[in-house]
Chain A
C-alpha cells in the first residue's frame, strides 16, 4: 500500500510539474520528457503488470494536457514500461549510464511513433522540427536521469518500489 502511494505521488507530481515548469527548461525549443523519464525509472524497479499499470496512469495524466485527443500517451507509456521491464530482466541496467541509454532509446522511439501517428492524422509538423525534437529530446531527457534518480533516492522512493518478494529485478 505504501509503495503504491509513493508511486502515485511520484507520477502525480511529475504530471503536474511538466506543464508548469518544463517551459523554463527548453533547449533549442525542446523540453525534456520528465514524466516518461519517471515512468522508465520506476519501471526498472517494478514487476511487469505493475509497470504497465502505472505507465498507463502516467500516460493518461499526460494526455489530459495534450491537444490530440487520441490518447497516444495512454497507449504508448504502458508499452514502454513493459519494454523497460523486459530489458531489465535480460540485462543489468542498475547503473546510471545503462539507464540513460534505455531512457534515450525509449524517448526517441516515443517521438518517432508520435510523429508517425501525426503524419497519418494530417497533423503537418515540418520535417526539420520533427528531426530536432526526435534528436534533442532523447539526449536532453537522458541527461536529466541521474539528477532525477538522485532526487528520488533521497526520498527513498525507488527503494520502496522494489518488489516485496525479495527477488531483485537486477
Chain B
C-alpha cells in the first residue's frame, strides 16, 4: 500500500513538471504559467531583499545618507530657482512697463527703509550720476510710489505716498471729482477737500490730475476704499488703497523729465 502511494506521487510530480515544460514551449500556455509563477517568485524575491538588506546594511545606510544629502541640495537649488523665477517675472513686468512708458525712466533697487515710525521713506541705489534729481516722480509698474526728496552721488531718498508730508492733486477717473491725496503713515491714503455732494464711491479709480508740478496726468494712485465726512462736517474725505504695495517695494522707476 505504501509502495502504491509513493509510486503515484512520483508519477504526479513528474506529470506536473512535464506539463510545466510543455506549457512553456507552447506560447499560448506561457502566460498562464508565468502568472502562476509570479507569486512564489515574488515571495522568494522579498525574502532575498530582506536577507540582502541585513547583509548589506552598512552599504545601504551610507547610500541612504548620501541620497538624502543630494535631495537636500537639490531642494535648495529648487528654492533658489523659484526665487530667481519670481524675481525674473517681476523684472520682466518692470522692463515691459519701462519700455512701453513714454517718459524716460531709470530703474532702481530699494536698499533701505526709514528707520523710525514717523516717516515713510525708502533709499534707492541710484543717485545724481544716474540723472536723478530732487523732486522727480517715482513709480513702479503698478502705479505711483512717491517722489525723490534727497540725492547723493550714488543713492537717493524717496518719500512714499503714505508719508504725512506727501501730497498730490488727484481726480476720480469716473466722476472727475478733484481732491488732494495725502499720506497718513498707514497702509492707506486720504483724499481730502472733497465737497459734501461729491460723486465718489468705493471702488473708483484715483489718478493724478496733472495740477501738481512734475506729476504727469493720469498716473494711477489707487482705488477708493471708503468715503466719509470730515469731523468739521464741511467736507468729505475718501480713503484710498494705493495701487503699489508700499510696504514691500523692491524695484522702482524714477521718471527723468
Give A residues with C-beta under 8 Å from B.
Answer: 15, 18-20, 22-23, 26, 29-31, 33, 35, 62, 65-68, 73, 111, 114-115, 118, 123-126, 129, 133, 137
CB distance from A164 to the nearest CB of B (A): 32
Complex partner residue of B185 from A19, A111, A125, CB under 8 angstroms? A125
B11 at the interface (CB under 8 A from A): no
Return chain A residues, CB-CB under 8 Å to B116. Answer: 31, 33, 62, 66, 73, 114
Residue pair B185, A126 in contact (C-beta under 8 Å): yes
Query: Does residue B149 face the partner (Cβ distance < 8 Å to A)?
Result: yes
Name B145-162 residues within 8 Å CB distance of A.
Answer: 149, 157, 159
What is the distance, in angstroms, from B82's C-beta to the closest C-beta of chain A? 20
Residues on B with beta carbons closer than 8 Å to the beta carbon of A123: 164-165
> Mind listing 17 A-B residue pairs with CB under 8 Å?
A18-B115, A19-B114, A19-B123, A30-B117, A65-B112, A65-B157, A66-B121, A67-B119, A67-B121, A67-B159, A68-B118, A114-B116, A115-B118, A123-B164, A129-B185, A133-B117, A133-B118
Interface residues of B (CB under 8 A from A): 111-119, 121, 123, 149, 157, 159, 163-165, 182, 184-187, 247
Main secondary structure of the interface of B (DSSP, over half): loop
A62 to B123: give the CA distance in the assembly, Å: 13
Instruction: Report which of B111, B114, B164, B187 forms a contact with A124, defined as CB distance below 8 A.
Output: B164
* A31 to B: closest C-beta gap in Å: 6
- Tell me the complex Cα distance, A129–B187, Å: 11
Distance of A128 from chain B, by nearest CB (Å): 8
Q: How far is the CB of A160 from chain B (nearest CB, A)?
A: 25
Q: A19-B114, A29-B187 are in contact. Are A67 and B123 (CB under 8 A)?
A: no
Partner of B123 from the list A18, A33, A65 (CB cut-off 8 Å) is A65
User: A31 CA to B159 CA in the complex, in Å?
Assistant: 18
State the 5 A-B residue pairs at the shortest beta-carbon distance, nearest first. Answer: A19-B112, A18-B115, A67-B119, A133-B117, A129-B185
- CB-CB under 8 A from A29, the residues of chain B are 117, 185-187
> Chain A residues with Cβ under 8 A from B163's Cβ?
67
Whether B121 pairs with A65 at a CB distance below 8 angstroms is: yes
Q: Is the CB of B185 within 8 A of A35?
A: no
Q: In the complex, A137 Cα to B118 Cα: how many Å?
A: 11
Determine if A129 and B165 form an interchain contact, defined as CB atoms under 8 angstroms apart: no
How far does the alpha carbon of A19 sit from the alpha carbon of B124 in the complex, in Å? 12
Chain B residues near A114: list those with CB within 8 A: 116, 118
